[in-house]
Amino acid sequence: MKTGKVYLVGAGPGDPGLVTLKGLECLKEADVIIYDRLLDERLLDLASSQAEKIYVGKVAGEHHRPQPEINRLLVAKAKEGRTVVRLKGGDPFVLGRGGEEVEALADNKISFEVVPGVTSAVAVPAYAGIPVTQRGLASSLAVITGHEDPGKADSSLNWEKLATAVDTLVFLMGMQNLPEIVAKLVEHGRPPKTPVAVIAEGTKPAQKTVVGELDNIATRVKEHQLSAPAVIVVGEVVRLREKLSWFENRPLFGKRILVTRARHQASTLSRLLSARGAQPVELPAIEIELVSDTKELDWAIAKLDQYQWLIFTSANGVAAFFDRLYALNLDARALKGIKISAIGPATAEALADRGIAPDYVPAVFTSEGIIAGLKSDDISGQRFLLPRADIADEELTRGITRLGGRVDEIAVYRTVPAREAISQARQMLAAGEIDVITFTSSSTVAYLMAAFKGEKAKIGTAKVACIGPKTADSATKAGLKVDILAGEQTIAGLVQAIEDYFREGA
């Protein structure tokens, strides 16, 4: 059997956006992924669903697998002829024991490549607004393990020289030994008033930074209840944080926002929330399932030439319709001569992905908006096809019928409760761990409230944000107080409304 190859890939310090392009390519090609603790598991979602994923994380005082066992595992998987990614936090060669792992591979004549990652020693201070070097302020940098006990007799660190020879000192894995590190630096000549920053959960939505000086930082960290993992920065560059802080100054920083969209749709909303500093909690209230009986849709597709209008009210409807169209060996040419409407930009974008530019997108992204636009046309006697959800309301159908149109409304997908996710949501809401609940459809309201058996008190202190008036009406009828309503009924509009709400001091 041909021996495989191992890629030692640096995943970066926590923010999944900091992984390199080559690292992503390796993940997508991997047969086996052997990964560490402290990684954002969204990186694993980028790998093939067929890839074997093996966790070998380490916590202080508790190793899931000892290092020699990890080395043997890398060798064994490669000898099976597989492509292996060893996914490590930060950079594999910066206090990450990556050198030991490739030594084991080299000793066993296993082919390997090293894909460097963004080290937390530089990235975490940067996310806290601290450049580790600055002209005229700091021209030298040392990255030091904080894991080694400074008090032990045989320390490999030369504290006497280290304390004053380098402008900026960055300690990794040093939280447990912070008091001892401070004491050693002061003992060997570093001024007690030297600025220090301790950054926990760096580059992640939960990032927290405590600033002090050598003579008080240990006390301040204890007062703020910071815990590992954390990066310790010592030096004059810490003073720049007050002016250069950016990550923690974003408008929604630290807000935990429940994303209740269907699982496959949650990424767009989560991405926009993350960009504004929020911590999205993807606990979808619903899942989307295609209807199993397609006879009615197949009949409509076979008679497309009899329709004058095809109206889509969601991206899900677009996906379901075109999946069936393709399954019947047809394509967009079958829509020749039919006017197509999309209820809003997200639906229009789903159509554009299939090469279709809608003839009409209303200015107001609602059923009322579509009906208002149709009033300017004489649609009397015209036939409309509406591929929709099984629980869609009748407002659009009734409006078209009042204008003289004939409507064939066909359920092409259905929404079902995501029971496991809702159970998790109940626990987090009851514990007061959610700041905002987002509702992007009436079905998400219905299913979440059904899970709570109609007891609105179980949402705790969380604010309620709705994408549009119809969803807000459903929330109100369910007994909820709607705190935030999107001005523009899109995902981006919903996020903007949440941002505005907190900016105004709510």
Statement to judge: residues 113 and 180 lie in one domain: no
The answer to whether 343 and 364 have CB atoms below 8 angstroms apart is no
Residue 37, pLDDT above cutoff 60: yes
pLDDT at 417: 64
Statement to judge: residues 178 and 131 lie in one domain: yes
pLDDT at 61: 53
Residue 360, pLDDT above cutoff 90: yes
Label the pairing between strands 58-59 and 406-417.
unpaired
| CATH assignment at residue 457 | 3.40.50.10090
Residue 308, pLDDT above cutoff 90: yes
Maximum mean pLDDT: which of 75-89, 143-157, 356-370: 75-89
pLDDT at 150: 66
Statement to judge: residues 408 and 324 lie in one domain: yes
Statement to judge: residues 219 and 160 lie in one domain: yes
* Segment 425-440 mean pLDDT: 86
Q: How far is CA 428 from CA 271, 272, 416, 421, 444, in A?
A: 21, 22, 21, 11, 17
| CATH assignment at residue 60 | 3.40.1010.10
Statement to judge: residues 329 and 351 lie in one domain: yes
pLDDT class for 472, splitting at 50, 70, 90? very high
Statement to judge: residues 103 and 138 lie in one domain: no
Q: What is the DSSP annotation of 446-460?
A: HHHHHHTTT-GGGGT
Mind listing the pLDDT tens digit for each residue in 101-114? 999 999 999 999 99
Domain boundary (367, 401, 416) is at 416
pLDDT class for 420, splitting at 50, 70, 90? low
Query: Residue 348's domain spans which residues?
Result: 289-416
pLDDT class for 422, splitting at 50, 70, 90? low
Residue 355, pLDDT above cutoff 60: yes
Mind listing the pLDDT tens digit for each residue in 212-271? 999 999 999 999 999 988 999 999 999 999 999 999 999 999 899 998 765 555 578 888
The answer to whether 265 and 285 have CB atoms below 8 angstroms apart is no
Statement to judge: residues 425 and 405 lie in one domain: no
* Segment 43-72 mean pLDDT: 83
The answer to whether 325 and 301 have CB atoms below 8 angstroms apart is yes
Domain boundary (118, 134, 152) is at 118
Alpha helices in 149-265 (DSSP H): 159-165, 178-187, 217-223, 241-244
Q: Which residue has the higher pLDDT, 479 or 26?
A: 26
pLDDT class for 418, splitting at 50, 70, 90? low
What does the block give as tokens for 500? 């505005």
| Active site amino acids | 36, 58, 173
Q: What is the DSSP annotation of 319-340?
A: HHHHHHHHHTT--GGGGTT-EE
pLDDT at 247: 96
Helical axes 345-352 vs 315-327, angle rounded to 10°? 20
| Whether the predicted model's global pTM rises above the 0.75 cut | no
| CATH assignment at residue 207 | 3.30.950.10
pLDDT at 449: 81
> What amino acid occupies position 281?
V
pLDDT class for 428, splitting at 50, 70, 90? confident
Statement to judge: residues 339 and 480 lie in one domain: no
Q: Collapse the DSSP code of 496 into the 3-class scheme (helix H, G, I; strand E, B; otherwise coil) and give the result.
A: helix
Statement to judge: residues 423 and 399 lie in one domain: no
Statement to judge: residues 355 and 318 lie in one domain: yes
Burial profile 289-304: b = 16 or more Cβ within 10 angstroms, e = fewer: eebeebeebeebbeeb
Statement to judge: residues 468 and 494 lie in one domain: yes
Residue 498, pLDDT above cutoff 90: yes
What does the block give as tokens for 120? 């937390």
Q: How many domains does the chain have?
A: 4
d(CA 30, CA 261): 30
Tokens 């929020």 belong to residue: 278
pLDDT at 155: 76
Average pLDDT, the chain: 90
Helical axes 442-451 vs 419-430, angle rounded to 10°? 70
d(CA 108, CA 209): 44
Domain boundary (395, 416, 437) is at 416
Percent of residues, the chain, with pLDDT higher than 90: 69
pLDDT class for 447, splitting at 50, 70, 90? confident
Residue 363, pLDDT above cutoff 70: yes
Statement to judge: residues 219 and 317 lie in one domain: no
